[in-house]
Amino acid sequence: MNQHNILVHQISRPHGEPLAENFRFVEQPLGSLGEGAAWVENVHFSVDPYMRECMDGDWELNEPLEGRTIGRVIRSNTPALHPGDWVLHRKGWRTYAQVTPEEGRVIAPVAGVPLRAWLSLLGGTGLTAWVALTKIARLQPGESLYVSSAAGGVGSAAAQFAALLGAKRIVGSTRNAEKSKILTERLGYTDAFVYESGKVSAQLRDVIPEGIDVYLDNVGGEQLEAAIAAFKDFGRAALIGAVAQYSALTPPVAPYNLFDIVGKSLTLQGFLVRDYKNLQDELEEFIIPHIQSGRVVPEDTVTHGFNNIVDAFLSMLKGGNLGKAIVSIE
């Protein structure tokens, strides 16, 4: 076991887009293992859009950062965690983590399911898509769905789930033609388009002139405005994130058509996936057989090497990933 730990600290607040100089790699001795805890060697790290918001104040400066991570127990002072166990926990951005049973969940590997899937389809990303579709927006068979940031982690999960749930049309917007092609060929979308600033409403109307029933909002701003315009009466939106405004230097401008929420009897509801952990077993029971059959693909973009975690995070914020963005030391 390496006697030193490498951690990433945030050392300054970003002004607009975050930069590599907002972070610092720190090496320190591992120290002693506390009673009732285990040393976990971290192997797979999740980098997520919500982390950009954390940089503005939720994360303490010059302290270890957090994030969903899968690691292997290498030493233990608790009977609940055994050497060799795979553990999902939130003490990421470091090569080793001291984890108690209350801070992690042991993952039992399943044949035909990549371990990294517990950071994508079977992790917080997939659970977000599942909750948005089934509990917040309540997608029904035969309905039409629109997803912004469709090639991201949540978007790549949502379309595949929606197809299984019987959606009639699944429309996604993305940054470039290559991603648009992958959305329809591999990830369950019936239609996709490359969004252009100032034209999203018209683009969405051209793709699905009959309108949409459900919208999953990962972006906010103009994408939300376009969805409101495209909604049929009694449409429902699950508000997941607003990546378009996380690094904005000026306050976001509200959609011009907010009053259409009244005129169309729309429902827009935000949620935090941490409030729906009780649905993890439901998600796994539904999705695992489809992963094993190959009908559902745990799409991810893997960056290798812990020393590249900051670069992977910054790239993800600029749309450099397809599916879930993961850093792996394997």
Helix (H) or strand (E) holding 184: helix 177-186
The confidence score (pLDDT) of residue 252 equals 72
Contact by Cβ (8 Å): 29, 4:
yes
Residue 224 has pLDDT above 80, yes or no: yes
pLDDT at 249 over 80: no
- Supply the DSSP string of 35-58, one letter for each residue: TT-EEEEEEEEE--THHHHIIIII
d(CA 205, CA 221): 17
pLDDT, tens only, 131-140: 999 999 999 9
Where along the chain do the CATH 3.40.50.720 domains lie? 124-274
**Average confidence (pLDDT) over 207-223:** 96
* 243-265 average pLDDT score: 82
Q: How far apart are CA 63 and CA 26, in angstroms?
A: 10
**Res 247: pLDDT:** 66
- pLDDT, tens digit, 9 for 90 and up, residues 29-41: 998 999 999 999 9
Reported as half-sphere exposure (CB side, CA atoms, 13 A), residue 117 has a value of 23
Q: What is the pLDDT of residues 180-190, one digit of tens each?
A: 999 999 999 99
Is the pLDDT at 226 greater than 70? The verdict is yes
Q: Which CATH architecture has domain 124-274?
A: 3-Layer(aba) Sandwich (3.40)
Q: Domain 4-117+299-328: give its CATH architecture.
A: Alpha-Beta Complex (3.90)
- Cα separation, 47 vs 49, in Å, equals 7
- pLDDT value at 246 more than 90: no
All CATH 3.90.180.10 domain ranges of the chain, comma separated, are: 4-117+299-328
pLDDT, tens digit, for every residue of 194-210? 999 999 999 999 999 99
> Per-residue pLDDT averaged across 232-237, rounded?
98
- Confidence (pLDDT) at 169: 98
Spatial distance between the Cα atoms of 154 and 187, rounded to a whole number of angstroms? 12
Q: Measure the CA–CA gap between 137 and 317, rounded to whole angstroms.
A: 26
